[in-house]
Amino acid sequence: MLNFHRLIIGRPLRTEEAAHEKLPKWKALSIFSSDALSSVGYGPEQIIVTLAVPGLLIYGYFGYATLAVITLLAIVTLSYVQVAKANPGGGGSYSIALQNLGETPALIAAASLIADYVLTVAVSVSSGTEALVSAFPALIGWEVSINLVVLFSILMVINLRGVRESSNVFVWPTYFFILGIICLIGTGIYKAFTSIDPIIPSESLVRQPADWAVVLLALRAFANGCSSMTGIEAISNGVPMFKEPGVKNAIITTFCMSALLGLMISGISFLFMHYHLLPVENVTMLSQLAEQVFGRGWAYYYIQITTMLILYLAANTAYNGLPPLLSIMARDSYVPRYLGEKGERLGYSKGILLLSLISAALIVLFNGNVEHLISLYAIGVFLSFTIAQSSLVVKWRREKVPGWVSRIALNGFGACVTGIVVLVIAITKFTHGAWIVIIFIPTMIYILKTIHQHYTTTAKQLRISPKDFADHLQIHTPKNLVIVPISGITKVVAESLRYSKSLGGDVIVLYVYTNEEERKIFEDKWNNLNLNMPLRMLYSPYRSIVQPVLGYVSELEMHKSIYHYITIVIPEFEPAKLWHRLLHNQTGWILRTLLILRENVIVSTLPYHFKE
Amino acid sequence: MLNFHRLIIGRPLRTEEAAHEKLPKWKALSIFSSDALSSVGYGPEQIIVTLAVPGLLIYGYFGYATLAVITLLAIVTLSYVQVAKANPGGGGSYSIALQNLGETPALIAAASLIADYVLTVAVSVSSGTEALVSAFPALIGWEVSINLVVLFSILMVINLRGVRESSNVFVWPTYFFILGIICLIGTGIYKAFTSIDPIIPSESLVRQPADWAVVLLALRAFANGCSSMTGIEAISNGVPMFKEPGVKNAIITTFCMSALLGLMISGISFLFMHYHLLPVENVTMLSQLAEQVFGRGWAYYYIQITTMLILYLAANTAYNGLPPLLSIMARDSYVPRYLGEKGERLGYSKGILLLSLISAALIVLFNGNVEHLISLYAIGVFLSFTIAQSSLVVKWRREKVPGWVSRIALNGFGACVTGIVVLVIAITKFTHGAWIVIIFIPTMIYILKTIHQHYTTTAKQLRISPKDFADHLQIHTPKNLVIVPISGITKVVAESLRYSKSLGGDVIVLYVYTNEEERKIFEDKWNNLNLNMPLRMLYSPYRSIVQPVLGYVSELEMHKSIYHYITIVIPEFEPAKLWHRLLHNQTGWILRTLLILRENVIVSTLPYHFKE
């Protein structure tokens, strides 16, 4: 078992071995942007899914929605360049908001980010598997199983092994994907302009006159399209990982990523319209497009496989994001402390486990159906965008660094736009799952605050001044009463009694009997031993051993005038073989578990090892 | 929770409250014979199921198989009258075989009986539900759920409540069933002889010439029919529960039961042939017969409901049989000792739980499909018949009571016949599941003997003479080393140190640090306290708290020359609310669990109760 664990996870690493590798721009682009770039695998599709309502002729709004998404992308990019400048030390919306806006906005950002990261894993893994299944229809029906295998045996294991491995494994697929998509777009555009068909067929441009229902649908399509923008904040959170000059390199990388993303979204959307593609079950639209452009040859499979890989990689960015966030929050006492502990491979192993488990639960719950998950997605992303921008407005106003007015203008505008997007998503997609997020975030904030409260009161209860500490130990040595429940005259009992005598307190031996005959026999045996130790016999009318002992201890607790502590010595059998445990009753264990609930009652477990 | 438990199970009973009610014959007949009589609900049907092979015209062998079964019934009844005479003290094949034939035959009988009882529950509950579903087809598809509800919320609960309730609840349904079946047979026969149709239609008499395949089928049909005979041993095992004169009353009751059973089997089989009934999915054949005779009126539903009730009752006889058998075997150390302990209602509660769980597993595994279960059934029953008869032959030969020769003849003949039946079933149904029993029984015997062996060696290892016991305690008081791992200067630590000082041994305080800075800060704090207690600082390169402590203890164990015991004091936090546990790491628990594995290392758990 241990060896298997070592084989999978690797030997433990010493604290001194922590890596502080700095990334060149080309490597950072790949590592930080897989989440954002991969979203072209589902973003444009999500717009069409909303618009392709049977009977309604509103496909033409697709172009507008795409344009709106790309404009928004430009605004968010410019705002996030400011974030990178403001946070050369890294740290996401949560840290910025905690410094500039206070606890509640920071927790809103944290809750959004947590939801976002978990959904990133669930959505990206599911979408990656959809790309795979589109190419190999034989896999239809196995989606959830494939998702879970990818989640637990690839993503979780690689991340438990630690950070350094991830950078090497994860650099190339992003570039393969970019290359593939650019070739796809180039070939598609070339074919579009050289074919005799119209470049944009008229059915791709039909727009019913805009009544309220149509506007709602168009806005909802835009809201869905906003899911393309997830992951854009990754670079500005990771500034310290860039080679010097970090801020400048991060900004260049951000622009590169956004440009690529914008290019890919517009190209793919154009081609969707050119071919007038519509959603088909079990086949992603990117897969349809690749088939239209390349036919079902090696180029098609190249697109599908690289799409799958980058989507799985995108899930990996959440593994790079959530556990560190949780560790910062653990240091601030908003989540359980142990989430801040580094595991044996120096990763935040408990955070990695937690992320894997929750994502798996979501995948199983939604049966690997991406659309349902995306409904829950974009709102959290934009909420954290808005909070980050607003924090910066406050920061610039306070710090008044050179050029603070234009910075405020830029981030203020960004905050307004992303804030409006939050409202648009919340309203248009309220019945499509946004309500879950709207319930989730306040609930999370309540939970996070309650946890914080608990740690505060715990710390208060544990606190003691050095003087009180020393005084507590100086007062007269406390008197100890030792109780030994025994079941007969055996070697184990002899050992228990011997140990009890070594404890330097008064010893009482307890024997529980269930009928008079048994009592007499034992009393005779005991008296023959001439031990000069007080024996107390307890009658158990209901044949339980545990109840009379508990009752006796309660009685003592009530009357213990001269004793400070009651110590109960309970032997624990350590059988030679594991299955032997099944053959012994668990009286010792039950007694221990129940006695620990009593104050000032100490349970001493004396192990007795059987040889065979 | 506790109140719910009390409501369902009832208040605990004192040992003195054990009931020793004696049963009159009419009550005993009902209680002991539900298993045997209920088998007319599936026994004759099982014969036809085997013979109704499409294309083969062998329905006519049905009559012969039924005759063979009834003859066998007569022989087994006569033999079991001898068992009742031989065992006025009660006790089944296992006890008789252990006294007369030795360990292995007794364990064969025990394994057969265990399999038999478990299968009785699974088969009877499933068949009862089939009767119900035949009457109410809306329930089709819910069979397994109904089975589990009956098993856990009726049978298990009633039996956990205790024996006395069972006798009152369970007397009447048997008589209602007998009445119903006798009316059914009477009406059916009257109709058969007054109708213009032939009494036995020619298609019920067709018999292909007997080639090997046909003989095999006919024998297999007979083997299936033998399942009607299960439960016939119940009366002779329960002689002590009869009113005086017990043996005589038991014998009369046995004859009554067998006569009733024979009458019902032959009547039902005759009517099956008269109507030429064939198996139909989701409708039992008894249900078909009742519908033919009575039409679908109240009489039909009466038959179905009473059939259902008596089949559920039959499952209950296994609850009366297996837990006491296991308790006898527990006293002989062949099964875990705690199976011999009486629960709070004076029933063998752990045996009752075990039986419920295993039966439920079988029902789920076989998806409530009775035929598959019956395949596994009859062989165990007849194996235990054979062993009981053989034991009696040995007993009569040894004791030479008056009339021993004729008794040997009777039981010897019984043993031969039932032994042959075992062979017939094993061969003809080998591929239909009998192989499972043939693997199960030797495996069980191996397990039972291994358990016995374990208890023997355990007892040997625990045994100590009174002199050695006293000597062990007389030698010089053992020296105790107390180790207190601490994590800072808190109230809990103050309490741990105070308790440690009360133990009258040398105290060492342990502190685990993960970096040099941490070490210095703590060292300064500690030195300022001026406690005059030795502090040992341990470096943890891999950040684990547990490993360095374990390593230090191992080191001490190797060098402990002057200490007999090493006691480790670990505080256990008792948070004010249960969910608070989730917020604290389980270092204490892990440390305790791993340290208990060391010999001579005692773990003392000091509870610290948080107030809020």
Q: Which of A490, A565, A572 sits opposite B596 (nearest CB)?
A: A572
Residue B3, in any domain of the structure: no
- Cα distance from B352 to chain A (closest Cα, Å)? 16
Same domain, A367 and A501: no
Contact assessment for residue B314 and residue B42, using Cβ atoms and an 8 Å cutoff: no
B444 Cβ contact partners less than 8 Å away, ≥ 6 residues apart: B107, B110, B111, B114, B115
Of the residues B15, B464, B465, B503, the best mutation for testing chain A's interface (the one with the most A CB atoms within 10 Å of its CB) is B503
A228 Cβ contact partners less than 8 Å away, ≥ 6 residues apart: A36, A39, A40, A43, A44, A69, A73, A261, A265
Of B232, B362, B272, the residue nearest B44 (C-alpha): B272
Percent over 90 (pLDDT), chain A: 31
Residue B191, in any domain of the structure: yes
Query: Mean pLDDT, to the nearest integer, of B346-352?
Result: 86
Residue B411, in any domain of the structure: yes
Same domain, B357 and B442: yes
Judged against a pLDDT cut of 80, whether residue A511 lies above it is answered with: yes
Instruction: Give the pLDDT score at B91.
Output: 64
Contacts of B492 in chain A (CB under 8 A): 462
Lowest-pLDDT range of A43-57, A556-570, B80-94, B219-233: B80-94
Residue B41, in any domain of the structure: yes
Same domain, A436 and A536: no
Q: What is the rounded distance in angstroms from the CA atom of residue B113 to the CA atom of residue B126?
A: 19
Judged against a pLDDT cut of 70, whether residue B560 lies above it is answered with: no
Instruction: Give the pLDDT score at A466.
Output: 86
| DSSP labels, A108-125 | HHHHHHHHHHHHHHHHHH
Contact assessment for residue A253 and residue A232, using Cβ atoms and an 8 Å cutoff: no
Residue B11 contacts A, CB cutoff 8 Å: no
Check the CA dihedral B95-B99-B103-B105 and report its sign.
Answer: negative
Q: What is the rounded distance in angstroms from the CA atom of residue B388 to the CA atom of residue B235?
A: 14
Same domain, A497 and A360: no
Cβ–Cβ of B472/A494 closer than 8 Å?
yes
Instruction: Give the pLDDT score at B340.
Output: 85
Secondary structure of residue A47 in the 3-state scheme: helix
Judged against a pLDDT cut of 90, whether residue A160 lies above it is answered with: no
Q: What is the rounded distance in angstroms from the CA atom of residue A191 to the CA atom of residue A205?
A: 20
Query: Mean pLDDT, to the nearest integer, of B98-103?
Result: 90
Query: Mean pLDDT, to the nearest integer, of A115-135?
Result: 89
Same domain, B424 and B484: no
Contacts of B612 in chain A (CB under 8 A): 457, 461
- Cα distance from A110 to chain B (closest Cα, Å)? 18
Same domain, B189 and B254: yes
Check the CA dihedral A272-A277-A282-A283 and report its sign.
Answer: negative
Of B508, B38, B430, the residue nearest B260 (C-alpha): B38
Judged against a pLDDT cut of 70, whether residue A475 lies above it is answered with: no
Cβ–Cβ of A596/B607 closer than 8 Å?
yes
Of A598, A600, A607, the residue nearest A551 (C-alpha): A598
- Report the CATH number at residue A580: 3.40.50.620
Query: Mean pLDDT, to the nearest integer, of A222-230?
Result: 86
Could you write out the three-class secondary structure of B352-407? HHHHHHHHHHHHHHCCCCHHHHHHCCHHHHHHHHHHHHHHHHHHHHHHCCCCHHHH
> Which of B424, B455, B486 lies at the terminal end of a domain, its last residue?
B455
Higher pLDDT, B477 or A448: A448
Cβ–Cβ of A596/B605 closer than 8 Å?
yes
Cα A468 to chain centroid, rounded: 41
Determine the residue of chain B that is closest to A13 in CA distance.
Answer: B542
Cβ–Cβ of B478/A501 closer than 8 Å?
yes
Instruction: Give the pLDDT score at A476.
Output: 67
Secondary structure of residue A497 in the 3-state scheme: helix
Secondary structure of residue B246 in the 3-state scheme: helix
> Which of B393, B420, B455 lies at the terminal end of a domain, its last residue?
B455
Same domain, A481 and A433: no
Cβ–Cβ of A473/B15 closer than 8 Å?
no
Secondary structure of residue A538 in the 3-state scheme: strand
Judged against a pLDDT cut of 90, whether residue A11 lies above it is answered with: no
Of B262, B271, B276, the residue nearest B67 (C-alpha): B262
pLDDT tens digit string along A521-542?
A: 999 999 988 888 899 999 988 8
Instruction: Give the pLDDT score at A270.
Output: 93
- Cα distance from A175 to chain B (closest Cα, Å)? 36
Judged against a pLDDT cut of 60, whether residue B1 lies above it is answered with: no
Burial A7-43 (b: 16+ CB within 10 A, else e): eebeebbeeeeeeeeebeeebbbbbbbbbbbbbbbbb
Of the residues A339, A484, A489, A562, the best mutation for testing chain B's interface (the one with the most B CB atoms within 10 Å of its CB) is A489
Judged against a pLDDT cut of 80, whether residue B158 lies above it is answered with: yes
| DSSP labels, A507-529 | EEEEEEESSHHHHHHHHHHHHHH
Percent over 70 (pLDDT), chain B: 96
- Cα distance from B17 to chain A (closest Cα, Å)? 10
Judged against a pLDDT cut of 70, whether residue A1 lies above it is answered with: no
Q: What is the rounded distance in angstroms from the CA atom of residue A14 to the CA atom of residue A17?
A: 5
Residue A502 contacts B, CB cutoff 8 Å: yes
Residue B245, in any domain of the structure: yes
Q: Which of B464, B480, B542 sits opposite A490 (nearest CB)?
A: B464
B599 Cβ contact partners less than 8 Å away, ≥ 6 residues apart: A607, A609
Judged against a pLDDT cut of 70, whether residue A2 lies above it is answered with: no
Same domain, A520 and A584: yes
- Cα torsion A336, A338, A339, A345 to 10°: value is 180
Instruction: Give the pLDDT score at A21.
Output: 66
Window B:312-351, CB contacts with A under 8 Å = 336-338, 341-342, 344
Query: Mean pLDDT, to the nearest integer, of B414-427?
Result: 90
Same domain, B413 and B526: no
Q: Which of A489, A528, A574 sits opposite B597 (nearest CB)?
A: A574
Contact assessment for residue B160 and residue B343, using Cβ atoms and an 8 Å cutoff: yes
Please tell me the total count of domains within chain B. Answer: 2
- Cα distance from B263 to chain A (closest Cα, Å)? 46
pLDDT tens digit string along B320-330?
A: 888 888 988 99
Higher pLDDT, A244 or A549: A549
Contacts of B515 in chain A (CB under 8 A): 15
Query: Mean pLDDT, to the nearest integer, of B497-516?
Result: 89
A352 Cβ contact partners less than 8 Å away, ≥ 6 residues apart: A156, A159, A160, A319, A323, A343
- Cα distance from A450 to chain B (closest Cα, Å)? 10
Compute how many other C-beta atoms are within 10 angstroms of the C-beta atom of residue B341: 18
Percent over 90 (pLDDT), chain B: 31
Contacts of B602 in chain A (CB under 8 A): 499, 604-607
In which order are the strands placed within the sheet that holds A565-574? Answer: A535-539, A506-513, A480-486, A565-574, A601-609, B601-609, B565-574, B480-486, B506-513, B535-539
Query: Mean pLDDT, to the nearest integer, of A512-523?
Result: 91
Instruction: Give the pLDDT score at A576.
Output: 78
Cα B374 to chain centroid, rounded: 17
Contacts of A530 in chain B (CB under 8 A): 470
Parent domain of B383? 31-455
Residue B11, in any domain of the structure: no
Determine the residue of chain A that is closest to B525 in CA distance.
Answer: A466
Residue B16, in any domain of the structure: no
pLDDT tens digit string along A180-210?
A: 999 999 999 999 999 888 888 888 888 888 7
> Which tokens sit at A596?
């620990």
Contacts of A16 in chain B (CB under 8 A): 541
- Report the CATH number at residue A361: 1.20.1740.10
Instruction: Give the pLDDT score at B197.
Output: 83
Alpha helix segments (H runs only) across B463-575 = 466-474, 491-502, 516-529, 546-559
pLDDT band of residue A9 (cuts 50, 70, 90) is: confident
Secondary structure of residue A198 in the 3-state scheme: coil
Cβ–Cβ of B605/A604 closer than 8 Å?
yes
Lowest-pLDDT range of A383-397, A510-524, B19-33, B42-56: B19-33
Same domain, B165 and B264: yes
Contacts of B478 in chain A (CB under 8 A): 498-499, 501-502
Secondary structure of residue A170 in the 3-state scheme: coil
Work out whether strand A535-539 and strand A480-486 pair parallel, antiparallel, or are unpaired. Answer: unpaired
Window B:82-121, CB contacts with A under 8 Å = none
pLDDT band of residue A558 (cuts 50, 70, 90) is: confident
pLDDT tens digit string along A19-78?
A: 666 778 888 888 888 888 988 888 898 889 888 877 777 888 899 999 999 999 999 998
Contacts of B12 in chain A (CB under 8 A): 542
Contact assessment for residue B271 and residue B293, using Cβ atoms and an 8 Å cutoff: yes
Cβ–Cβ of A466/B609 closer than 8 Å?
no
Same domain, A363 and A502: no
Query: Mean pLDDT, to the nearest integer, of B398-426?
Result: 90
Cβ–Cβ of A607/B605 closer than 8 Å?
no
Instruction: Give the pLDDT score at A161.
Output: 82
Residue B1, in any domain of the structure: no
Instruction: Give the pLDDT score at A170.
Output: 75
Cβ–Cβ of A514/B580 closer than 8 Å?
no
Cβ–Cβ of B462/A15 closer than 8 Å?
no
Say what the pTM is. 0.77
Of the residues B339, B457, B461, the best mutation for testing chain A's interface (the one with the most A CB atoms within 10 Å of its CB) is B461
**Strands, E, within A375-492: which ranges?**
480-486
Same domain, B149 and B221: yes
Judged against a pLDDT cut of 80, whether residue B163 lies above it is answered with: no
State yes or no: cis peptide before B279, omega within 30 of 0. no
- Cα distance from B542 to chain A (closest Cα, Å)? 5
Window A:548-607, CB contacts with B under 8 Å = 564-565, 567, 572, 574, 580, 582-585, 592, 596-607
Query: Mean pLDDT, to the nearest integer, of B585-592?
Result: 82
Secondary structure of residue B490 in the 3-state scheme: coil
pLDDT tens digit string along A76-121?
A: 998 888 888 877 766 678 888 998 999 999 999 999 989 888 988 9
